[in-house]
Structures are given as structure tokens and as C-alpha cells.
Amino acid sequence: GDKAFAQFLTDEIKEEKKIQKHKSLPKVSGGWELEVHGTEAKLVRKIAGEKITVTFNINNSIPPSGEEDTQEQQKPDEQEPELTSTPNFVVEVIKDDTKQTLVLDCHFPEDEIGHEGEEESDIFTIREVSFQPTGEADWKDTNYTLNTDSLDWALYDHLMDFLADRGVDNTFADELIELSTALEHQEYIKFLEDLKSFVKCQ
């Protein structure tokens, strides 16, 4: 059984490498520096008196596909539908002269495809906003967290503009999806390779 499993993994790795779009991770435009730790990625950008960091994790970032039935009828030579990784991401804005960090929790809505009626709709939304003490690893539950579900639209728009002024806009979000998808695929291939060595290990 293990031999067949290892052989299957070998073929699978070959296939995945064939369809791998990016041999190295795509860059995000706008002077963002990327740090990757396993499945977590962090983009950092400094502008006049501020440091902006965007953090996301690729685990559980691929939305479930509701099309299990259609895959049965696929012809063998057809490409599998492309998986896209749309992770939640956290934007932190740190101003040099305050001890506060503004934290905005953003995500890609799952029904994002159905927005034809709206012109220029944002591809991501802000879910929560809070202040956290700068430099503390653990965020406190005692800090007020604003949930945007019940938020005044004008205030919400200003928050979106605030992010856009700092380079977190639709273009950025598109590039983040591309980066995250490439990173997810890279990690998946690595996982298959690790699994293969594990299975072959006597």
C-alpha cells in the first residue's frame, strides 16, 4: 500500500509543479517587504511617520468549492478549476509618536462574485477595528472592538479611504490574493514532498 501511495504522491508532485504559476513568490507593488514564516506571511511598509503591516495565514484560506458534482464529468485532459486563496488579513497601522496601534481585521466576502450591480465595489471588507497597545504580542479582549456590521456607512467609507491612502486598496488586495495563492501552492507541494518522504521512511 505504501509503495502505491508514494508513487501516487510522486505523480501528484510532478503535476502540481507543472501547473505552478510562480516559481518564486510574486511581489506586491508599492514598496511592501515580505516576510514569510511557514504559513504566515507579513507585508511591511513604512511611510512618513507610520509603519503599516499586513499579516495573513494561508491555512484554511481556500473557500470550499460547491461544485463537487461537476468534477465527475470532467474530461481527463481538462485543467482542474484553479484554486484561489483568499485569506483573512489584519492591517496594523502604527504611528511613530503614539503607543497605540490601529488594528483592522479584513476579509474577502465569499459572495464577492455577485456584485455586478455595484460599480467599483471593494473586493475586501473591514470586519473589525480596534486599538491595541503597540508592541504587545497578545491583544487584549478588554480593548473595545468595533464590529462594522452595525457601522455608520460614512465612517466605514472613511476607514476604507484611510486604508487606501496607506496602500491597502483593491489593487493591493488583488496582489495579496495572488501572493497568498502562490504561497499556498508552494506549501502544498512541500507538504506532498514531506508526506512522500514520510511514507517511504521504513
Does residue 146 lie within any of the structural domains? yes
Does residue 150 lie within any of the structural domains? yes
pLDDT-based confidence at residue 70 (cuts at 50, 70, 90): very low
Question: What pTM does this model have?
Answer: 0.84
Does residue 78 lie within any of the structural domains? no
pLDDT at 60 over 70: yes
pLDDT at 183 over 50: yes
Region of poorest pLDDT, from 73-82, 162-171, 176-185: 73-82
Q: Residues 71, 83, 114, 58: is their CA dihedral positive or negative? A: positive
Would you list the DSSP string of 90-107? EEEEEETT-SEEEEEEEE
Does residue 189 lie within any of the structural domains? yes
pLDDT-based confidence at residue 202 (cuts at 50, 70, 90): low
Q: Residue 114 carries which DSSP code?
A: G
Does residue 74 lie within any of the structural domains? no
At 74 the pLDDT is: 43
Does residue 115 lie within any of the structural domains? no
pLDDT at 62 over 70: yes
Would you list the DSSP string of 139-190? PPTTS-EEEGGG--HHHHHHHHHHHHHTT-SHHHHHHHHHHHHHHHHHHHHH
Between residues 79 and 190, which one has the greater pLDDT?
Answer: 190
pLDDT-based confidence at residue 4 (cuts at 50, 70, 90): very high
Does residue 187 lie within any of the structural domains? yes
Q: How far apart are CA 102 and CA 158, in angstroms?
A: 14
Residues whose CB falls within 8 Å of the CB of residue 1, separated by 6 or more in sequence, listed in order: none
Could you tell me the residue range of the domain that residue 179 belongs to?
1-59+83-109+121-200
The total of structural domains in the chain comes to 1
Does residue 128 lie within any of the structural domains? yes
Task: Assign residue 159 the CATH number of its domain.
Answer: 3.10.280.10
